[in-house]
Amino acid sequence: MEGENVDSTDHLSPSSEKKCRESANSAASTRLRAAEAVLFPCAHHHRAVVLCTAAGKAAKKGRPAVMGGTVFWITCPHLNNVIARIERNGGVKAAAQVLSRQPTAMAKHFASHVRYTERVKTLLTAQQWDFFLAHFVEPEKGSSRLFGNAAVSHADDVKCLHAWVAQALARAANPIGEGIINLILFFHLLISDYRKGVDSDDNDASLKHYMDSPIPLYDFLTQAFSQDTKSEREIEFTIGNEPKRVSYSWISDPVVLEALQIDLCQRCLDVYLFLEGRSPRVSSKRRLN
């Protein structure tokens, strides 16, 4: 479901601003955190990433839903769980370190903010785009500009890994999301090989220790920000004290990921079960992310 592509660069007049605000605030309670379009499918839960324009901060305590700076949301609980584990294990810090240490990484991160805005523009209605532009892209003096799907107030911030993955799967390419998606697929490959006995000398603890460390995420984000365009890559790493090398097919485009019919949801669940040793708890919270 795509809205009109509106070319609007000027700040809104007071009357237009009022109209946009009233339009945004007129959302019925049924629209609160409601998915408006499926942007990436999920085999088990129908939708992995959705467009939602009614999840703003004012949508609390019974107040009408309004648009927020984040419009792409992960709704697959298994994908959410694995990303949350990566965050708990130092994922946000590792991403920030890559941005600060890699010469070209920050420029590519900034470029992803532009792609986010361009992608959002193709999905919103004319009134929604006017509201989004006036509040998050070109706000009035005294208000903060927000960047990317994480809606960060500084262009070099990371804040939330879920948001970057959602942005990547919603076809607004960004290296952080791309690196995390490939890391999850790589983890699944390692587990599959482990269960086949390819790495039978490794015990569960050593493999889990490697997967739970920030090292693989740092390495994969470095790969994502690199100039390497090859799909077939050799991933070098160490489990315990033993160096390893595994061939891995890197995926940069969510369209390719979908076309390959890779069950991202099931692979996330497999990774979670291996690391946690139990089924995930079912949350009763009514939330998108």
Would you call 222 helix, strand, or coil by DSSP? Answer: helix
DSSP 29: G
Distance CA 150, CA 94 (A): 17
Q: What is the pLDDT of residue 198?
A: 54
| Residues 63-118 pLDDT 10s | 556 788 999 999 999 999 999 999 999 999 999 999 999 889 999 999 999 999 99
**CB atoms closer than 10 angstroms to residue 241:** 6
Nearest to 97 by CA among 88, 89, 106: 106
Distance CA 207, CA 244 (A): 12
DSSP 232: E
Q: Over the range 26-51, which residues count as b (16 or more CB within 10 Å of their CB) and which as e?
A: ebeeebbbbbbeebbbbeeeebbbbb
User: For a pLDDT cut of 90, what percent of the chain falls above it?
Assistant: 57
62 compared with 178, residue with greater pLDDT: 178
Dmax (CA) of the chain: 70
Q: What is the pLDDT of residue 88?
A: 96
Distance CA 105, CA 96 (A): 10
Q: What is the pTM of this model?
A: 0.84
Angle subtended at Cα 110 by Cα 135 and Cα 48, rounded to the nearest 5 degrees: 75
| Residues 142-168 pLDDT 10s | 678 999 999 998 999 999 999 999 999
- State the alpha helices, DSSP H only, in 89-174: 91-101, 105-123, 126-132, 161-169
Contact 25, 66 (CB under 8 A): yes
Strand partners, 242: 239
Nearest to 203 by CA among 240, 243, 247: 240
In this prediction, residues 187-206 reach a mean pLDDT of 77
Would you call 28 helix, strand, or coil by DSSP? Answer: coil
For the chain, first and last CA: distance in Å?
21
Comparing 11-15, 18-22, 68-72, 129-133, the range with the smallest average pLDDT is 11-15
In this prediction, residues 206-229 reach a mean pLDDT of 92
Distance CA 131, CA 137 (A): 10
181: tokens are: 């998606």
In this prediction, residues 190-194 reach a mean pLDDT of 89
Distance CA 1, CA 122 (A): 10
- pLDDT-derived band at 230 (thresholds 50, 70, 90) equals confident
